[in-house]
Each structure stands twice: as structure tokens, then as C-alpha cells.
A and B are shown apart, each in its own frame.
Chain A
Amino acid sequence: QVQLQESGPGLVKPSETLSLTCTISGDSINSNNYYWGWLRQPPGKGLEWIGAIYYTGRTHYNPSLNSRVTISRDTSKNQFSLKLTSVSDSETAVYYCARLGYGGNLNWFAPWGQGTLVTVSS
């Protein structure tokens, strides 16, 4: 059974960099059947896709965040990570990692991690 677990600081100051890691268990980040993605959800609001990474290192990012986002992978640890620079208060959200099905085209997000709340505040 695949499980994903987010980890990282729960509090980030405005203008600083948000950094999170997702640890995968029950599957390999080197699978050619999946991308690995990050999403977020502000309190009481809807879902927003941040980006995703393939085992080759290829990435796709939300154009609205493209200039501030970096997703990387550590195959030796079966982890992938998110860095979001110059964050603002409005980016306080629950951040999720999720497995993204891929069969030549990007598909579904499943399963999702439990999510981690990141608060942006001074």
C-alpha cells in the first residue's frame, strides 16, 4: 500500500522560502508509471496544483507559480521536495504531496499524503 508523508517547518516568515519533503513508502520514485506532485489548499478554500516531477527529473509547474517553485527528487531516500520562494501571508495552506498517474499523459492524483499546514507569518 502506497503511503506519502509530508514533512517540514510549520511556520515560515513572509518573503522567505518554504521547503517541504515528501517521503514515499510502498512504491518507488523511480517508477516510470508515475509523476510525484505537490498541491495546496488554503484554509476553507479549494485545491491548487503546484507542480510535479518525473523519475527522470522532468518537471511541470503551475504557470502562476513557475518562477518561484522548484521540485526536486532524492532517489536514494525515495523522497521528493518542494521549494517555494518569496512566500506571502496568502500562501498559508495545507500542503499535500500526491502520486500522479502517468501513461504517456498526466492522469489522476492518488493517493494523497495527510497534508501539512504551513503558516506564513512574521
Chain B
Amino acid sequence: SYELTQPPSVSVSPGQTASITCSGDKLDDKYAYWYQQKSGQSPVLVIYQDTKRPSGIPERFSGSNSGNTATLTISGTQAMDEADYYCQAWDSSTAVFGGGTKLTVL
């Protein structure tokens, strides 16, 4: 079965750029999606189809997908961005999620 791998944790200082990676075999043959989940809340879509931002998502969130790795980038990270982030892709009509990355804003 298809697997997506994320680092368990990433730390960033306020105002700096955070990058969260998601690795999977030939991932760029698929679309990558990213969800933000703050403590005690439901997940929220922040990036879809590799690079697109839903309405209401700040411009500091961006995404890319090349080769085996998709990346979520948060520019000018703010304290409110501290959350768990999950990548997701489709493999033969099956949704696959990465294990999640806890972003800490120090």
C-alpha cells in the first residue's frame, strides 16, 4: 500500500519560514493536499492540488510537489500557525495521509 512520510516535528522562530515535507514514491504523479489541525479542533484544508490555497487561507501558506517530495511552506510564521499538519494524496481511489508534523513556533 502507498505510504506518505512526514517528520514528526518541526520548530521555527516567529517571523521565519517553516518547511514541512511529505515523501512518497513518485508523489509528483499525484496531487498533494495539506491540512492544519490546531489543538482540539477539526482539520482545515490549507493547500490543495499541490499549490492552491482555499479562500480564507493566508498567502503565507504555499505548497510545492516535485519528485518524491511535497512541501508545505509557511512564510513569516506566526504563533497562530502552531498546529499539527497532515499531507494527503490519493492512490487508486484510496485517501492516504501522512503521519502528521507538529509545528512548534518558539
Whether B100 pairs with A108 at a CB distance below 8 angstroms is no
A105 in contact (CB, < 8 A): yes
Whether A46 pairs with B54 at a CB distance below 8 angstroms is no
Whether B88 pairs with A109 at a CB distance below 8 angstroms is yes
Whether B42 pairs with A115 at a CB distance below 8 angstroms is yes
Interface residues of A in 73-116 (CB under 8 A from B): 96, 101, 105-115
Whether A113 pairs with B42 at a CB distance below 8 angstroms is yes
Closest A residue to B34 by CB, please name it.
A108
Which residue of B90, B95, B97 is within 8 Å of A105 (Cβ)? B90
Whether B90 pairs with A110 at a CB distance below 8 angstroms is no
A26 in contact (CB, < 8 A): no
Q: How far is the CA of A39 from the CA of B54 in the complex (A)?
A: 21
B10 in contact (CB, < 8 A): no
Whether A108 pairs with B99 at a CB distance below 8 angstroms is no
A-B contact count (CB 8 A): 60
Whether B93 pairs with A46 at a CB distance below 8 angstroms is no
B79 in contact (CB, < 8 A): no
Q: Which residues of B contact A111 (CB under 8 A)?
A: 42, 44-45
Taking Cβ atoms with an 8 Å cutoff, the residues of A that contact B are 37, 39, 46-49, 60, 62-64, 96, 101, 105-115
A-B residue pairs, 3 tightest by C-beta:
A49-B95, A110-B45, A112-B42
Known: A63-B1, A107-B48. 12 other contacts (CB 8 A): A47-B97, A47-B100, A49-B97, A60-B93, A62-B94, A101-B48, A106-B93, A108-B45, A109-B33, A109-B45, A110-B54, A114-B42
Taking Cβ atoms with an 8 Å cutoff, the residues of B that contact A are 1, 31, 33, 35, 42-45, 48-49, 54, 86, 88, 90, 93-100
22 pairs from A and B in contact (CB 8 Å cutoff): A39-B95, A47-B35, A47-B86, A47-B97, A49-B95, A60-B93, A60-B94, A62-B95, A63-B1, A64-B1, A96-B43, A106-B95, A107-B31, A107-B33, A107-B48, A108-B45, A108-B48, A108-B49, A109-B33, A109-B45, A110-B45, A114-B42
